């Protein structure tokens, strides 16, 4: 009886180790770099859609939309040359983090 329980536990443990690897397997038809580029293209397309929507709903003027559009074009050109990297300097130590609840006590 103990052997069956032990065999069941071992089987479950091996399955738990194998399942994440199966889901993490990459699709050979699309390289990760291509997926990243597609994501960034979608992001910049969303920016353009946001601008069109904002002008249509009169949240911003046409002049403001042109300024934003130039800004987004500059961002796209910059990031196409230098990559995206961590925005805000990272999660824990970037300039976007403040002293927090403890007043930066260490």
For 10-29, the pLDDT digits (tens) are 787 777 777 666 666 555 55
Contact 79, 40 (CB under 8 A): yes
Instruction: Look up the pTM and report it.
Output: 0.49
Residue 59 has pLDDT above 90, yes or no: yes
pLDDT (0 to 100) of residue 64: 94
> Does residue 49 contact residue 69 with C-beta atoms inside 8 Å?
no
Is residue 14 in some structural domain?
no
Q: What's the token pair of residue 62?
A: 């046409």
Largest CA distance in the chain: 78
**Range with the lowest mean pLDDT among 59-68, 85-94, 97-106?**
85-94
CA distance 32 to 38: 10
Q: What's the structural domain count of the chain? A: 1
Give the domain extent around 40.
31-83
The answer to the question of residue 74 being in a domain is: yes
Q: Does the residue 58 lie in any domain?
A: yes
User: Which residue has tokens 């002293």?
Assistant: 99
Whether the predicted pLDDT of 82 surpasses 60? yes
Structural contact between residues 69 and 48, judged by C-beta atoms closer than 8 angstroms = yes
- Confidence bin at 3 (pLDDT 50/70/90): confident
């Amino acid at each position: 009886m103990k052997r069956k329980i032990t065999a069941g536990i071992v089987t479950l443990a091996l399955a738990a180790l194998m399942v994440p690897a199966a889901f993490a397997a990459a699709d050979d038809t699309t390289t990760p770099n291509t997926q990243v580029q597609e994501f960034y293209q979608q992001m910049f397309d969303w920016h353009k859609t946001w601008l069109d929507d904002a002008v249509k709903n009169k949240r911003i003027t046409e002049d403001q939309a042109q300024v934003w559009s130039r800004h987004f074009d500059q961002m796209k050109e910059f990031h196409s040359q230098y990559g995206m990297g961590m925005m805000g300097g990272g999660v824990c130590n970037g300039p976007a983090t403040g002293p927090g609840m403890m007043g930066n006590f260490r």
